[in-house]
Amino acid sequence: MPGKSLNCFASFAIAIPLYRVFDYSIEEHQQVLVGTRYRLPFGQGSRTGLLLATHNSASVQRDRIKAADECLDQLPVLSEHLIALATWMSDYYLQPIGEVLFQCLPRYLRTARHEKPVRVKYWRANTLELELRETIEKRSPRQHQILLAIEQSSCGLNASQLKAVNSNWHGLVRSLEAKKAIRWEWSKPQSTTTTLENLPELNREQADAFSQMESNFGRFSVHLLDGITGSGKTEVYFRLIQNQLDQHRQVIYLVPEIGLTSQLVERVRHRFGEQFAISHSALTERQQYEAWERFRQGEVTIMLGTRSSLFSQSARLGLIIIDEEHDASYKQEDGIRYHARDVAIKRAQMLDIPILLGSATPSLESLNNCQREHYYWYRLSQRPTRYEPPRIQLIDTRNVRKEHGCSPYLLQRIDHHLGQDNQVLLYLNRRGFAPVIMCHECGWQSICRYCDARLTLHQSLNRLLCHHCGFAQPVPSACGECDNTDIRHYGIGTEQLEQGMKKRFPNYPVLRIDRDSITSRDDFARKMGALRQGGPCLLIGTQMIAKGHDYPAITMSAILDADQALFSASYRASERLVQTAFQVSGRSGRGDQAGEAYLQTDFPDHPLMQALANQDYRKIADTITRERKMLGFPPYARVVMFRADALSLRQATEKLDEIKHCLAASTTRHQVKCIGPIPALMTRRIGRYRAQLCLIGPDTHKLRSVLRESMPAIESIKSTQKVKWVVDVDALDL
């Protein structure tokens, strides 16, 4: 280009599914910083690229190299450490480097946006005349509530803090502004520190765990806090966080799901003031960026969030905490496939800092690493209260007529606990009103048009919905095969259970928490807030309520239908059932009363059901682990899954046959088992047919050797709109 010196070249990563970087020329006199974003000409348009390295290479075909356009950042948006972590992820998980690098950025920065300074509007109180104050207090109690909250904060309150005071704060604040009672101004977010004089006293197990962890925190180390539900793991987390803050270090604190953040936020705020930022997918892109930027600048010291918060930048990160480390939500199943727990361990290793994993039901992988002495292992077996976690009691539902999905005995126990002014939790991991719509005459069932799945009846919508692709249709008035009008529904979902409990217990509140009833984090916080106030009520929900929540008034919990897990095709089904059963049972009896836990089953004599009733989690986990070892399944093997989806099953299997051909020589030489191609368990999903090809082997090094030798050829196999393929390293299911 005229007037420019094009002797300097740079390699850029672009977020496209290609396993390579791209060279562009840049002005030699221009300040070039690794980790900055550029707008790049690409094809007929432009793309955003991340600068990885500069070079003056004689091998570059200069006449074919395009010039980079505008640099979007004055300073790097991705540190050298995170670039190195992304490079490792790309290599280990076999994902395109450009897509992995942009995964490490907040969504706000993944396009050609310029960075903007993070400014937050803070409202502060003016000096008021006594007459005006008395008028506000007398005529508008809600305005007075907002005014008092602002006055009590030395640095004012921002929008999120005002929302915590009153969800309808906008109009109240405008009225106070009109009265000149408060004012606002742009300012950098400010952190406040709250010091509690009377911290909860640690019991002996907590104190021992805290002391031992603290003594090993000067270097990279992995610690598993294996504590029964209600044993006080969070208090140990908080002590270790405070230890890091005292050393002017920062902490990343991950939880598996958005729902877990609402109650935890209040506990963190009460303990650490406003020294934290929150990040999860329910926030806007701008809000997530602001949280990321505040943490990067050191304005807050704790990043509390879900999976993607792991990539928050910090020059002084001292500790990573992974709560509920066993949870499958940490595994990203689409886009860039990675496991946040495992990547977090790698990040801690690269930074030479400790990482803490916590769970009442640790994953078999983590327990195996403890037994091999790769992790430090701490057990908390006592609750701070005088009551032990309840034993799971089986309710035999064979030949029992159920009412609203509940056996007569279970209804009797619910009635008893509600009559004692206590709260009851009913767990049913099935949304909607009924899972099956069937013709009583010919056996026809309502099946999704695009998936190999039944449509679920949602009575409140008067629709049949597919929970896999979102397809919906009206409830039919007659059978689709024989025109018979005797169409019936079978099974029970949370919607039907809610209606039934309202009829059966009309004098008590019934709260339902699932994806249909909760549309935002505020909805979740509002319903769980009703529980926190105490008083008798019934809580019905799916896995959203099964873990992490602490509500002392719940004295009974019950699982209504877990039998399907006994006959699942997934080898992890038994592990997940056991984890869910102990998590749900552990929600009860956490206050000053003993709890009860029940599990309804048509198969009470099944060995796994008997184990749930008579053994603790560790003993059952040992049994499952021994079975896995005999079968050669994880954690005693590593799994790499190649998946293809296409317009026909034949096209999908043909694509995987190409990949298998590339693997053939290497798998034979390294004795790694290759299974498939075979149809996926749900063969048709969202109108496309799916197949899979599995590599499995006990020796990680041999498996990695197969991939290292084969991937260059596999990467040349193109994905198209007709046939797409992906690779999933450490897949959770076969």
Does the pLDDT value for residue 269 go beyond 90? no
CATH of segment(s) 204-380? 3.40.50.300
Does the pLDDT value for residue 418 go beyond 90? yes
Q: Give the orientation angle of helix 130-139 with respect to helix 141-151, to 10 degrees.
A: 130
The answer for residues whose C-beta is within 8 angstroms of residue 713's C-beta and 6 or more apart is: 662
Does the pLDDT value for residue 384 go beyond 80? no
Stretch 516-528: mean pLDDT: 70
Q: How many residues does the chain have?
A: 734
DSSP 3-state percent helix, strand, coil across the chain (nearest 5): 35, 25, 40
Q: Give the orientation angle of helix 617-631 with respect to helix 364-371, to 10 degrees.
A: 90
Does the pLDDT value for residue 506 go beyond 80? yes
pLDDT over 90 percentage in the chain: 48
For tokens 């006594």, name the residue.
130
Does the pLDDT value for residue 6 go beyond 70? no
For tokens 């002392």, name the residue.
552
- The DSSP output letter for 164 is H
Does the pLDDT value for residue 195 go beyond 70? no
Query: Taking CA 92 as the corner, what is the angle to CA 715 and CA 343, rounded to the nearest 5 degrees?
Result: 140
Task: For residue 185, name the pLDDT band (cuts at 50, 70, 90).
Answer: confident
Beta pairing class for 673-685 and 688-697: antiparallel
Q: What is the pLDDT of residue 189?
A: 47
The answer for residues whose C-beta is within 8 angstroms of residue 358's C-beta and 6 or more apart is: 224, 225, 227, 233, 237, 321, 322, 323, 324, 325
Please report, for the chain, the start and end positions of each structural domain, with discontinuous segments joined by +. 8-109, 120-187, 204-380, 392-430+492-630, 638-729
What gap in Å lies between CA 611 and CA 450, rounded to an integer? 39
Q: Give the orientation angle of helix 80-93 with respect to helix 340-351, to 10 degrees.
A: 130
How many whole angstroms from its chain centre is CA 111?
24
DSSP 661-718: HHHHHHHHHHT-EEEEEEEEEEEEETTEEEEEEEEEES-HHHHHHHHHHHHHHHHTS-
For tokens 């041999």, name the residue.
702
pLDDT in tens, 233-251: 999 999 999 999 999 999 9
Q: What is the pLDDT of residue 260?
A: 59
Q: Topology of domain 638-729, per CATH?
A: Alpha-Beta Plaits (3.30.70)
Q: What is the pLDDT of residue 151?
A: 85
DSSP 615-662: S-HHHHHHHHHHHHHHHT-TTSSEEEEEEEEESSHHHHHHHHHHHHHH
pLDDT in tens, 688-704: 999 999 999 998 899 99
Task: For residue 577, name the pLDDT band (cuts at 50, 70, 90).
Answer: very high
Q: What is the pLDDT of residue 47?
A: 92
Cα-based torsion angle of the residue sequence 676, 682, 685, 688 in order, rounded to the nearest 10 degrees: 30
The answer for residues whose C-beta is within 8 angstroms of residue 138's C-beta and 6 or more apart is: none
* Strand residues in 182-296 grouped as ranges (E): 182-187, 221-227, 250-254, 276-279
**Which CATH superfamily is 392-430+492-630 part of?**
P-loop containing nucleotide triphosphate hydrolases (3.40.50.300)
What gap in Å lies between CA 459 and CA 468, rounded to an integer? 18
What gap in Å lies between CA 659 and CA 653, rounded to an integer? 10
Q: What is the pLDDT of residue 641?
A: 95
Q: Quote the tokens at residue 11.
A: 């390699």
DSSP 533-595: T-SSEEEEESGGGSSS---TTEEEEEE---GGGGG-S-TTHHHHHHHHHHHHHTTSS-SSS--
Does the pLDDT value for residue 520 go beyond 70? no
What gap in Å lies between CA 166 and CA 337, rounded to an integer? 39
Angstrom CA distances, 717 to 44, 338, 653, 659, 721, stand at 24, 22, 14, 8, 13
The answer for residues whose C-beta is within 8 angstroms of residue 464's C-beta and 6 or more apart is: 437, 446, 455, 456, 457, 458, 472, 473, 474, 475, 476
pTM across the whole model = 0.87
By the 8 A CB rule, do 389 and 256 touch?
Answer: no
Burial of 386 (0-12, 13-18, 19+ CB in 10 A): exposed
Q: What is the pLDDT of residue 188?
A: 56
Does the pLDDT value for residue 508 go beyond 60? yes
Alpha helices, DSSP H, located in 439-519:
494-504
By the 8 A CB rule, do 727 and 640 touch?
Answer: yes
pLDDT in tens, 620-662: 999 999 999 998 899 999 999 999 999 999 999 999 999 999 9
Burial of 139 (0-12, 13-18, 19+ CB in 10 A): exposed
pLDDT over 70 percentage in the chain: 93
**Which CATH superfamily is 8-109 part of?**
PriA, 3(prime) DNA-binding domain (3.40.1440.60)
Q: What is the pLDDT of residue 29?
A: 65
Q: How does the average pLDDT of the chain come out, rounded?
A: 87
Does the pLDDT value for residue 566 go beyond 80? yes
Q: Quote the tokens at residue 591.
A: 């206050």
- 147-161, 245-259, 331-345: which has the highest mean pLDDT? 331-345
Out of 118-122, 362-366, 458-462, pick the least confident.
118-122
Phi/psi for 126 (5° steps) reads: -90, 165
Asked whether this chain's domains 8-109 and 204-380 adopt the same fold, the reply is no
DSSP 331-382: B--SSS--BHHHHHHHHHHHHT-EEEEEESS--HHHHHHHHTTSSEEEEE--
Does the pLDDT value for residue 57 go beyond 90? no
pLDDT in tens, 319-338: 999 999 999 999 998 889 99
What gap in Å lies between CA 654 and CA 640, rounded to an integer? 19
Out of 52-66, 116-130, 432-446, 537-551, pick the least confident.
52-66
